[in-house]
Amino acid sequence: MPVSPNLKDFVTQVRRDILRQVHNVNSGHPGGSLGCTEFFSVLFKEILDTSTDFNMDGNNEDMFFLSNGHISPVYYSVLARSGYFPVEELNTFRLINSRLQGHPTTHEGLPGVRIASGSLGQGMSVAIGAALAKTLNNDDHLIYSLHGDGELQEGQNWEAIMFAAANKVDNLIATVDYNGQQIDGATDDVLPMGDLKAKFEAFGWEVIEEENGNNINAVRNVLNLAKSKTGQDKPVVILLKTVMGNGVDFMMHTHAWHGKAPNDEQLEIGLQQNPETLGDY
Amino acid sequence: MKTYTNSGNIDTRSGFGAGLEILGDQNPNVVALCADLTGSLKMNAFKDKYPDRFFQVGIAEANMMGIAAGLTIGGKIPFTGTFANFSTGRVYDQIRQSIAYSGKNVKICASHAGLTLGEDGATHQILEDLGLMKMLPGMTVINTCDFNQTKAATIAIAEHQGPVYLRFGRPKVPNFTPLDQSFEIGKAVKLIDGTDVTILATGHLVWEALEAAKALTEKGISTEVINIHTIKPLDEEAIVTSAQKTGGVVTAEEHNYLGGLGESVARTLAQHHPTPQEFVATQDTFGESGTPAQLMEKYGLNAKSIVEKAIKVIERK
């Protein structure tokens, strides 16, 4: 299926939103956000069966949980542009009295967010709990979650990974943003994690690798493939290779922009590389 | 003086188990999770009757807290069960972010709190949990005194929307509160009226306070005893009213004097009615191995200590 011009435009606009949010407050995390833009865009526009009439319990709809909460700029942009709250509210990112906190929270009542995240390693457990609730409720909708690769250094993940396989939590699709970077450098330098595929498989998960996590078609295909693997007594994980900072040439392939905002000049370059499509907020 | 009869020694954790079983019967949304301590937490009846609603998470408390948070999304009311140490300090950030800050309706049920865990020693005897939990915004903190009250509290917290920490213990202790009581969160229970001194006790120290009141009465000291089963929200009105009447307060708890009931009471009195206060609590120390009775004696958490502190506070009036 060809990529609809619409979705390409959506992705480009989300990238602009990410850059403008972090630039406005000179803080936030553009690198991982840019790397996950295709994933979020495809997931929310084409995959998730959700209602934008937000309800915390999310019964009879798919749900998404962001575990690596620092990539809030992409989450907020995609939520806003999917109708959860006014796009203009992106102007308030990280400002005082905002619903758009530095890391996502339920505390300020922002529609679309069902758990606070930011302190890493907790989202897998939460997603599993939500998946178990769906099973108890005879609700055949799916739970999706996103995790950083560096985040897998947190031990709670492996408690959760073990539990999900042992309990055949097969209505869960976890995705790992496999960009190979974390704050202090490349994951291979900070704490090499070895063969993630083999690790997940050893724990009993269905593992799907995707090398082109910044290609809209590839992301769509891998998410649909993952959906087809649910309901088979195994949790499903997608190891999604992405490029941190994707779409802004000087931010790519480096951890330098993990948690740093562009200055005025850098913003202009980034915006030129991602021209306005759906209208800036 | 009003007296209370011990209907037989029984552990508070069994009160939790009994309450949980009733909840299982009454409320299909109640689910339970345990981290490899099902027998110790007395959760077997629930597990056997409602296996689909029981989740054995293994020795993985952090994961248990996260799963519990997730289960609330979809309308479940999760009760987690493990020892108090592993219910709090071990998983503080999981509770803080995924439960408290996220406003999730999780009931954290903690057994083997304090010194009365006994022979396992200090690694398991948490004396800091009340402080840890009461500092979390939005967290309700309850420490029940006997089987009947623990059972009633377990049932009551299912009706409360929001995170709750319910603390109880291991040893068999006197069961003296009414069999079928209603439990009102945040509402202190006055057990004995008195005019000379107030004893504010929580958990296992409530029975000791009743014993102390007997001894004090024999000395001609009119002693008021109030069961503060809810540390947060604290029944400030009951505390201030009693302090105004007696002019001297002793707090009694199986917890460090830093961060526990005593400090909450001191803050309340400092704000509303400054009153001399003495603390029956551990003195910023870890516990050790021993029988519960030996430990409570050594660390001064019994009726004898309460009597001494009551006399001392009266002298300070």
Identify the pLDDT of residue A3: 65
Q: Confidence class of residue A198 from pLDDT cuts 50, 70 and 90?
A: very high
Identify the pLDDT of residue B41: 98
- Is A107's CB within 8 Å of B74's CB? no
Q: What is the rounded average pLDDT for all residues in chain B?
A: 98
Contacts of B90 in chain A (CB under 8 A): none
In one letter, which amino acid is A258? H
Identify the pLDDT of residue A105: 97
Enter the DSSP assignment of A4: P
Do strands B140-143 and B164-167 pair parallel, antiparallel, or not at all (unpaired)? Answer: parallel
Name beta bridge partners: A176. A147, A239
Identify the pLDDT of residue B24: 98
Is there a contact between B206 and B121 (Cβ–Cβ < 8 Å)?
no
Q: Confidence class of residue A51 from pLDDT cuts 50, 70 and 90?
A: confident
C-alpha B1/C-alpha B18 separation (Å) is: 32
Contacts A–B by Cβ distance under 8 A: 118
Interface of B with A in 163-222 (CB under 8 A): none
- Is B70's CB within 8 Å of A125's CB? yes
C-alpha A279/C-alpha A20 separation (Å) is: 13
- Is B93's CB within 8 Å of A119's CB? yes
Q: How far does A244 lie from chain B, in Å, by closest CA?
A: 26
Kindly report whether the peptide bond that precedes residue B233 is cis, defined as omega within 30 degrees of 0: yes
Residue B122 has pLDDT above 90, yes or no: yes
Tell me the pLDDT tens digit for each residue of B206-218: 999 999 999 999 9
- Sequential DSSP letters for A79-134: HHHTTSS-GGGGGGTT-TT-SS-SS--TTTT-TT--S---STT-HHHHHHHHHHHH
Q: Confidence class of residue A2 from pLDDT cuts 50, 70 and 90?
A: low
- CATH topology identical between B10-173 and B189-316: yes
B58 touches chain A (CB under 8 A): yes
Residue A19 has pLDDT above 80, yes or no: yes
Cα atoms in the Cβ-side hemisphere of radius 13 Å centred on B262: 22
Identify the pLDDT of residue A52: 72
Q: Confidence class of residue B180 from pLDDT cuts 50, 70 and 90?
A: confident
Identify the pLDDT of residue B175: 98
What CA–CA distances, in Å, run from A7 to A49, A83, A152? 17, 15, 30
Percentage of chain A with pLDDT > 70? 98
Tell me the pLDDT tens digit for each residue of A129-174: 999 999 999 999 999 999 999 999 999 999 999 999 999 999 999 9
Architecture of the domain made up of B10-173: 3-Layer(aba) Sandwich (3.40)
Identify the pLDDT of residue B53: 98
ipTM of the prediction = 0.96
Sketch out chain A's domains with CATH numbers.
Answer: 5-272 (3.40.50.970)
Residue A20 has pLDDT above 70, yes or no: yes
Model confidence, pTM? 0.97
For residues B195-220, give the mean pLDDT.
Answer: 98
Is there a contact between A134 and A128 (Cβ–Cβ < 8 Å)?
no
Tell me the pLDDT tens digit for each residue of B92-117: 999 999 999 999 999 999 999 999 99
Right CATH for B189-316 from 3.30.365.10, 3.30.70.20, 3.40.50.920, 3.40.50.720: 3.40.50.920
Q: How far does B63 lie from chain A, in Å, by closest CA?
A: 5
C-alpha B204/C-alpha A98 separation (Å) is: 45
